Amino acid sequence: MWDTIQQIFLILTVISTVVSIITIFRQPRDIAATWAWLLVLILFPVFGLVLYFFFGRKMTKTRIFDMKSQKALGMEELVDVQQALLTDDRALDQFNGNIYLQDLATLFLQSDESILTEHNKIKFFYDGKTKFQALKEDLKQAKDHIHMLYYIFRDDSLGEDILSILTERAKAGIEVLVLYDAWGSAKTKDKSFDELHKAGGRSIAFFGSKIPLINFHLNHRNHRKIVVIDGKIGYVGGFNVGNEYLGIGKLGYWRDTHLRIEGNSVLSLQSRFFIDWNAVASHQDKRDYQKRYFPIAKPIGNSTMQIVTSGPESEKQQIKMGLIKMIAMARKYIYIQTPYFIPDESLLEALRIAIYSGIDVRIMIPCKPDHPIVYRATEYYAKLIEETGATIYIYTHGFLHSKMMVVDGEIATVGTSNFDVRSFKLNFEVNTFIYDLKVTKELANVFIRDSRYCRIADHYYFKQQSHWRKFKQNFSRLFSPIL
């Protein structure tokens, strides 16, 4: 009996290994990810193959084409105008000598067709309670439409509160569209949206599956968080819809960063929402360009900014390119907040060059994991960059989920993208890049304020860790290209 079991296992292992090798090399990918998946498949012969089919497969050419074919509704004309201006040296006078703005504006226009907008008004939220209180009030005041995209939309008390408002607005004749990620919101019951549907609202799971428990798109997650109200107010940042983002949960107080935007940058969020919505909506639910979705705003603030997105349908990794460009342009300091610090070689080298050039590099990470393997890999890379000369802060006042980088108090980026390979290559992400001295200095001051709730992870901090913990860090980082 035992011999038969061993033979069956051996046969399954051989079949799994052969199928794995064929499958891995059928889809071209970078060498680091290839080796990481081969390691998984070798260590876990049969189970690893199952993991690969659910989490490792790249987007099909058909799906990539479907994503790319979605037009940036309402943005084409503005992109054409700004790209034409870039060829005229006289037009560059508008940047007033701001090299950050000039270089990054060009980069994002060329790589992501991200328009540069001025006179936006920005309000930051660092606490979930104040963010959702403001959001609820704005939702109640909606006059024409509400478009909402969240990676996680739970059906807990916060989710119920938001859905109740959305349902009431839908009953009042307001267009309500809700898009949520199938993996991030896997625990949310479909019936939670029944009342919204009865009221005339619509909801769709991004990359959902018609077959329960079987979904081969789990590796490509729509990690964006976007809300657009009447084309005039936009929300984007790190908070999802769930009680834990109010500080109710095992991780305790939740420290994050979110923006409320008024101004023409909202139109870029609107366009991004429609691209994602139309990519997965049925034919009758797709949306075409309408003027009411894209009202041009009068000057309302002083912030110049760009909305930049990236995802697995493109090889450009636009957000990562922006981060590298910011790091390369730094002259004084670089402040980074991220729950997951797993940079690829290009970002790691950019940070090393900055440190060796005398730039003050400070990186803040959480003191506790929400994903154990990812956190151990984060510790590994934090130790690595600390040895180069960066200062590592361990946030101890709850869980740090903020995704933010400030350079020299002159440019900042805040959004949904973590400082890891998954965010740059596998997830659908959105970041704001802000060119406003007042705003960027506020964010730098917030970093300094948060550092008061941190301990410094110096050489001794890492040295005194147990051998078992160090082993887990070294082991976890082997899977960093696919985490």
Q: Which residues are catalytic?
A: 223, 225, 230, 401, 403, 408
Q: What proportions of the chain, in percent to the nearest 5, are helix, strand and coil?
A: 50, 20, 30
38, two tokens: 């081969």
- What DSSP designation does 401 have? -
Residue with tokens 């985490």: 483
How far is it, in rounded angstroms, from Cα 357 to Cα 386?
15
Residues 6+ apart with CB under 8 A from 124: 257, 258, 259, 260, 414, 442, 443, 446
Helices 372-388/467-477 angle, 10° precision:
100
CB 310 within 8 A of CB 221: no
Q: In degrees to the nearest 10, what's the CA dihedral of 58, 109, 118, 288?
A: -60
How far is 346 from 419, CA to CA, in rounded Å? 12
Query: Which tokens in the block code for residue 226?
Result: 């976007």
Of the candidates 376, 362, 371, the residue with the CA atom closest to the CA atom of residue 458: 362
The angle at the Cα of 237, spanning 236 to 240, to the nearest 5 degrees, equals: 100
Listing DSSP states for 46-70 in one string gives HHHHHHIIIIIPPPPHHHHHHHHTS
